[in-house]
Amino acid sequence: KVENCINRVKYDYKQYIECNHVSRGVWPLPQKLLSSRERYTLEPRTLYFVYGRESSAQEGCSVLDAAFKRYFSLIFPEYTAGRLYHEISFENKSFIVEVTVGHSDCDGYPKEDSPEKYKLNITDGQAFLNAETVWGYFVNKTYIKDFPRFQFRGLMLDTSRHYLPLRTIFKTLDAMAYNKFNVFHWHIVDDPSFPFQSLAFPDLSRKGAFHPMTHIYTQSDVRKVISYARMRGIRVLPEFDSPGHTKSWGQGQPDLLTPCYTGNTPTGSVGPVNPALPSTYKFMWALLKEVTSVFPDSYIHLGGDEVNFSCWKSNPDIRTFMQKMGFGTDFAKLEGFYIENIVNITSALNKTSIVWQEVFDNHIQVMVEVWKAGCYLCKVRKVTKARLRVILAAPWYLDQPHNWAHYYNVWPLAFKGTEEQKKLVIGGEACMWGEYVDASNLAPRLWPRASATAERLWSDENQTNSLDKAFPRLNEFRCRLLRRGIQAEPLSVGHCKYEYEGI
Amino acid sequence: KVENCINRVKYDYKQYIECNHVSRGVWPLPQKLLSSRERYTLEPRTLYFVYGRESSAQEGCSVLDAAFKRYFSLIFPEYTAGRLYHEISFENKSFIVEVTVGHSDCDGYPKEDSPEKYKLNITDGQAFLNAETVWGYFVNKTYIKDFPRFQFRGLMLDTSRHYLPLRTIFKTLDAMAYNKFNVFHWHIVDDPSFPFQSLAFPDLSRKGAFHPMTHIYTQSDVRKVISYARMRGIRVLPEFDSPGHTKSWGQGQPDLLTPCYTGNTPTGSVGPVNPALPSTYKFMWALLKEVTSVFPDSYIHLGGDEVNFSCWKSNPDIRTFMQKMGFGTDFAKLEGFYIENIVNITSALNKTSIVWQEVFDNHIQVMVEVWKAGCYLCKVRKVTKARLRVILAAPWYLDQPHNWAHYYNVWPLAFKGTEEQKKLVIGGEACMWGEYVDASNLAPRLWPRASATAERLWSDENQTNSLDKAFPRLNEFRCRLLRRGIQAEPLSVGHCKYEYEGI
């Protein structure tokens, strides 16, 4: 009676419907999924999550205890909200979900190489969920054997162009977990504002935030975000983008930015970080030391994108420095010099550096995030040829007004290269830049379009190469997101049983 | 000391800032606005709204009593929400807002010709608000003499492609009032679903709604919407679009739609309403009689757009009817015949008919809504030349992804025509079609982009012809919308003191 629903579904809508209790709404698609037509009733009074006898983690495991509670509420929202619920028991048998994990890492953080695979086996009155670590996820029915295609499945939020309240970040982390995203790339500061509260340099947020009291992230706020993410198996990757995109830094840190000149006269305006002053590196060392102590992840994003050379060119002190260093008039060398120094700092702090693609240079050991439109796979090929690891963002800019299919139709490994090169593509991420996005419209712009990226990064490419097959499943998943309180927008004409915030 | 802020503001940003307590955030711009730099403190313990001695309306006027309460809460949200509020009184003087209206129409509905002009005069400790009717609006500071440019300032919502919960409609009506929109055009039914509960034909929603119990508007729901709108000076204009866009009608009303044929064989699918059967007109009479008894407004929208002739052409009975009527093979004549019959029905029911532009015909007395892209002013010119009234929607399709400036940069009377022709342009409306919009994303897609349409329809064109001048004012107004609980999206990089739902 056990059938492989996915393999049976081949352009036959009616067969698909028969399978819909398993294949519709399961998103991202598991690597292997078998299902019977038998159904078991789940009731709030008789459903229990328990730890398996062989499990390394047992009662008291913070991550799993919290996940049990959370998913119980997600399965029975009416029951846990105290809304009218008739406790008619259809069967008196209890339904036990037994969870077994191989390694008990209950108090640690998810790491780049944390195994996320799991098996789920449901039979009458019982379900067995086996995962290597506590970072394996829970899904609610049938037999599943599952593991991620890519290790790095990120979503980037920009909290500088608009401030996002903690509530909004938490909601996003909820939805990320439902979508099996495992990295929250926090583009926390940029030109418009500096909301990160630094204890070493308190003026950075006092003078650089939109408002020094309300529009900031205190270190306690940051810890809350990291902890909330951890409970959901999500790493937090901070980005402190320099030497460009740093206007707001200059508000609270005198002499950090380069004074621009017209001829021999300062114009009063400033450019990128000043790479010619020793004080710059002293400051960056102290700031990054603080940052890496607040963010436990082993990666840090150093930015490095879109550096405009015109202000550096105008400044006589910079030009003198160029001569002294033997850079001639090649400002790319100056940029490289700056980045190399910053990367050396983060290496000394035991962190792996990620940079945007402009900074790619065969000689610096960094991870490269490819973001520019055009032939992005050409760039991926080039970077992997230089044996550097790649994160792909270019096809997943969610601030663009494309529909879900555009973000689904992406083949990250479709470039000519060796097996070694392909392995260097460690994943990708969906980017939501903040020019036109804040708490008022973030969620519907993210979901369910980011879900397209999520499936591409988690699932088997060969099982997920059809838009037609993905569409009804994504529609159903979007309704589930709504029911879970995620403000996900519709994909087309239709309705959900539970509309957003109810009828 | 009294200065005309608006006239002083000419490409001089610094002067503008000096005036910002009046001109920023006042939206749509009043026809005349004078302001002093003097400021008066408003405090919740000493602010009172009272009726002027000369006012025709006095205590007990439902519309104004409710508006006083509502706007008190909007001015002092912390106070009325019972949040911590230190009652430090700066002055013990009370501040009286005296409201005087000429006609007491407190229990009626806003009508197409209800005068909406008002004057607001604020001096020390006192404000006088004078309006002809209770449908004049309230704004909070300075001297204002104001009236609308156009009589018809509509916003269309589509509740067929997605169902919108009442809560979402109410929120939209709140925001409409803040934007001085005065017509809610309710595109209530269409192909995908028929959520309107008809007592005469209960099967229409039972079989034609997405769900017969949850995804419908009962007549009590409709009355609530009409009453909520009335309290805010907004008319409710229902649309029952036919003969096309009626797939959902066919679910609950057998024989209403035309059976399509291949040769002499019915295909099993159906087309537009069948115009050849007497039963069609009997049904439409009964339905429209019910509709016009539920909706008090003197207008009704009959649709008439996008009729596809192919199914009619395929049907032998329709072809026989064409011969009998002497229409030859001109199916536009058949369409005209149908519409003329429906317009006659609504005339007999004492309603003014509005139709989409396809139906425009010199001989039928209707109001024409121009919606097609391209040279829409050419069409406006043509229709007004035929002495018919026009509502302009073409440049304000908000389901398109244009920015606010696109919707602001519209000049509805910029066509060659006589003064009489221009007067026939009674207004316009913003349309939000529902393919990709439901409760999850309606508000941020509407606001503040619809505010651009609102100002174009209310304010003096000569005072509102600069995007640069409008931008900071609209930014400020968007923040006010947020503070009032409207989920309005950001226009660009920046922040609001009150972010959506708080920090």
Position B92 scores a pLDDT of: 63
Q: How many CB atoms lie within 10 A of CB A57?
A: 23
Alpha-carbon gap: A458 to the closest alpha carbon of chain B (Å): 26
Q: Is residue A81 part of a domain?
A: yes
As a whole number of angstroms, the distance between CA B314 and CA B264 comes to 9
Task: List C-alpha distances in Å: A432 to A178, A405, A487, B437, B442.
Answer: 18, 17, 16, 20, 20
B89 confidence band (pLDDT: 50, 70, 90): low
Q: Domain check: are A373 and A279 in the same one?
A: yes
Contact call for residues A52 and A64 (beta carbons, < 8 A): no
- The answer to whether the Cβ–Cβ distance between B165 and A497 falls below 8 Å is no
Q: Domain check: are B382 and B339 in the same one?
A: yes
Contact call for residues B374 and B319 (beta carbons, < 8 A): no
Position B24 scores a pLDDT of: 61
Q: What is residue A272's DSSP assignment?
A: E
A218's tokens: 């205190």
Catalytic residues of B: 306
As a whole number of angstroms, the distance between CA B191 and CA B182 comes to 27
Mean pLDDT estimate for chain B: 90
B21 confidence band (pLDDT: 50, 70, 90): very low
Contacts B192 to A, Cβ<8 Å? 493-494
Q: Domain check: are B164 and B128 in the same one?
A: no
Query: At CA A155, angle to CA A387 and CA A251, rounded to 5?
Result: 95
Contact call for residues A196 and B484 (beta carbons, < 8 A): no
3-state secondary structure of A304: coil
| Size of chain A, expressed as the number of residues it contains | 503
Q: Is residue B360 part of a domain?
A: yes
For the ranges A176-185, A476-485, B41-50, the lowest mean pLDDT is seen at B41-50
Please tell me which of A12-21, B73-82, B225-234 the model is most confident about, judged by mean pLDDT: B225-234
Tell me the one-letter amino acid at B194.
F
- The interface residues of chain A toward chain B in range 175-194, judged by CB-CB distance below 8 A, are 192-193
- The answer to whether the Cβ–Cβ distance between A438 and B489 falls below 8 Å is yes
Report the residue of chain B nearest A191, measured CA to CA.
B493
As a whole number of angstroms, the distance between CA B62 and CA B183 comes to 20
pLDDT tens for B242-295 read: 999 999 999 999 999 999 999 999 999 999 999 999 999 999 999 999 999 999
Contact call for residues A65 and A59 (beta carbons, < 8 A): yes
Q: Is residue A502 part of a domain?
A: no
Q: What is the mean pLDDT of residues B33-56?
A: 82
Position A163 scores a pLDDT of: 97
Q: Domain check: are A237 and A299 in the same one?
A: yes
- The answer to whether the Cβ–Cβ distance between B493 and A167 falls below 8 Å is no
pLDDT tens for A178-225 read: 999 999 999 999 999 999 999 999 999 999 999 999 999 999 999 999
As a whole number of angstroms, the distance between CA A444 and CA B446 comes to 13
Alpha-carbon gap: B465 to the closest alpha carbon of chain A (Å): 24
Of B42 and B336, the structure prediction assigns the larger pLDDT to B336
Q: Domain check: are B92 and B174 in the same one?
A: no
The owner of tokens 């840190």 is A253
Task: List C-alpha distances in Å: B441 to A482, A491, B491.
Answer: 12, 11, 16
- CB-count exposure of residue B200 (10 Å: 0-12, 13-18, 19+): exposed
Q: Is residue A468 part of a domain?
A: no
Of B122 and A55, the structure prediction assigns the larger pLDDT to A55
Domain boundary among B146, B180, B199: B146
Q: Strand (E) positions, A415-481?
A: 425-432
As a whole number of angstroms, the distance between CA A114 and CA A107 comes to 14
Q: What is the mean pLDDT of residues B471-488?
A: 94
As a whole number of angstroms, the distance between CA B44 and CA B69 comes to 12
Of A375 and A83, the structure prediction assigns the larger pLDDT to A375
Position A88 scores a pLDDT of: 55
CATH number for the domain harbouring residue A97: 3.30.379.10
Statement: residue A364 has pLDDT above 90: no
Among residues B377, B500, B443, which one has the least CA distance to residue B179? B443
Q: What is residue A138's DSSP assignment?
A: -
For the ranges A61-75, B140-154, B396-410, the lowest mean pLDDT is seen at B140-154
B91 confidence band (pLDDT: 50, 70, 90): low
Q: Is residue A296 part of a domain?
A: yes
Statement: residue A17 has pLDDT above 90: no
Report the residue of chain A nearest B434, measured CA to CA.
A493
B95 confidence band (pLDDT: 50, 70, 90): confident
Alpha-carbon gap: A170 to the closest alpha carbon of chain B (Å): 13
Which of A163, A443, A501 is opposite residue B439, by nearest beta carbon? A501
Report the residue of chain B nearest A211, measured CA to CA.
B497
Position B279 scores a pLDDT of: 98
Query: Is the CA virtual torsion B109, B115, B117, B118 positive or negative?
Result: negative
Q: Domain check: are B141 and B162 in the same one?
A: no
Position A325 scores a pLDDT of: 97
- Give the percent of chain A with pLDDT over 70: 91
3-state secondary structure of A423: helix
Of B208 and A21, the structure prediction assigns the larger pLDDT to B208
Alpha-carbon gap: B503 to the closest alpha carbon of chain A (Å): 5
Among residues B284, B193, B197, which one has the least CA distance to residue B245? B193
Q: Is residue B503 part of a domain?
A: no
Position B90 scores a pLDDT of: 55
Contacts B167 to A, Cβ<8 Å? 501
Report the residue of chain B nearest A215, measured CA to CA.
B503
Which of B163, B495, B502 is opposite residue A495, by nearest beta carbon? B163
As a whole number of angstroms, the distance between CA B290 and CA B281 comes to 14
- CB-count exposure of residue A39 (10 Å: 0-12, 13-18, 19+): exposed
As a whole number of angstroms, the distance between CA A141 and CA A129 comes to 10
Q: Domain check: are A156 and A125 in the same one?
A: no
The owner of tokens 């008291």 is A60
For the ranges A6-15, A208-217, B189-198, the lowest mean pLDDT is seen at A6-15
Q: Domain check: are B172 and B132 in the same one?
A: no
Position B20 scores a pLDDT of: 45
pLDDT tens for A262-313 read: 999 999 999 999 999 999 999 999 999 999 999 999 999 999 999 999 999 9
- The answer to whether the Cβ–Cβ distance between B501 and A436 falls below 8 Å is no
**B215 touches A: beta carbon within 8 Å:** yes
**A152 touches B: beta carbon within 8 Å:** no
Contact call for residues B340 and B365 (beta carbons, < 8 A): no
A231 confidence band (pLDDT: 50, 70, 90): very high
Q: Is residue A10 part of a domain?
A: no
In chain A, how many domains are there?
2
Q: Domain check: are B376 and B428 in the same one?
A: yes
A92 confidence band (pLDDT: 50, 70, 90): low
**A161 touches B: beta carbon within 8 Å:** yes
Which of B192, B492, B499 is opposite residue A493, by nearest beta carbon? B192
Tell me the one-letter amino acid at A169.
I
Domain boundary among B97, B113, B146: B146
Domain boundary among B98, B130, B146: B146
Q: What is the residue range of A37's domain?
A: 32-146
Q: What is the mean pLDDT of residues B15-28?
A: 55
Q: What is the mean pLDDT of residues B319-324?
A: 97
Position A122 scores a pLDDT of: 83
- CB-count exposure of residue A67 (10 Å: 0-12, 13-18, 19+): buried
Alpha-carbon gap: B488 to the closest alpha carbon of chain A (Å): 6
Statement: residue B433 has pLDDT above 70: yes
Q: Note the pTM of the prediction, 2 decimals.
A: 0.88
**Crossing angle for the helix pair A278-294 and A219-231, to the nearest 10 degrees:** 50
Q: ipTM, 2 decimals?
A: 0.85
B44 confidence band (pLDDT: 50, 70, 90): confident
Q: Domain check: are B58 and B190 in the same one?
A: no
Contact call for residues A459 and A29 (beta carbons, < 8 A): yes
Q: What is residue A196's DSSP assignment?
A: B
A23 confidence band (pLDDT: 50, 70, 90): low
Contact call for residues A185 and A459 (beta carbons, < 8 A): no
Position A363 scores a pLDDT of: 78
**A162 touches B: beta carbon within 8 Å:** yes
Contact call for residues A48 and A96 (beta carbons, < 8 A): yes
**A502 touches B: beta carbon within 8 Å:** yes
Statement: residue A3 has pLDDT above 60: no
As a whole number of angstroms, the distance between CA A250 and CA A6 comes to 55
pLDDT tens for A144-156 read: 889 999 999 999 9
Q: What is residue A161's DSSP assignment?
A: S
Q: Phi then psi for A475, rounded to 5 degrees? A: -55, -45
- The interface residues of chain B toward chain A in range 428-487, judged by CB-CB distance below 8 A, are 434-441, 443-444, 482, 487
**B400 touches A: beta carbon within 8 Å:** no
Q: Domain check: are A330 and A356 in the same one?
A: yes
- The answer to whether the Cβ–Cβ distance between B162 and A494 falls below 8 Å is yes
The DSSP line for B302-343 is: --------HHHHH-HHHHHHHHHHT-TT-HHHHHHHHHHHHH
Looking at the DSSP bridge assignments, the partners of residue A48 are A96
**B393 touches A: beta carbon within 8 Å:** no
Q: Domain check: are B332 and B395 in the same one?
A: yes
Q: What is the mean pLDDT of residues B322-341?
A: 96
Contacts B502 to A, Cβ<8 Å? 165
Catalytic residues of A: 306
Q: Is residue A165 part of a domain?
A: yes
Contacts B497 to A, Cβ<8 Å? 211, 214
Cβ burial A224-240 (10 Å sphere, 16+ → b, else e): ebbebbbbbbbbbbbbb
CATH number for the domain harbouring residue A410: 3.20.20.80
Report the residue of chain B nearest A435, measured CA to CA.
B493
- The answer to whether the Cβ–Cβ distance between A438 and B490 falls below 8 Å is yes
Please tell me which of A40-44, A96-100, B38-42, B413-417 the model is most confident about, judged by mean pLDDT: B413-417
Mean pLDDT estimate for chain A: 90
As a whole number of angstroms, the distance between CA A178 and CA A240 comes to 27
Q: What is the mean pLDDT of residues A429-444?
A: 98
3-state secondary structure of A259: strand
**B495 touches A: beta carbon within 8 Å:** yes
Max CA separation in chain A (angstroms): 87
The owner of tokens 């022709």 is B421
Q: What is the mean pLDDT of residues B401-424?
A: 97
Paired sense of beta strands B352-356 and B367-370, if any: parallel
Query: At CA B467, angle to CA B461 and CA B469, rounded to 5?
Result: 85
B448's tokens: 């503040």
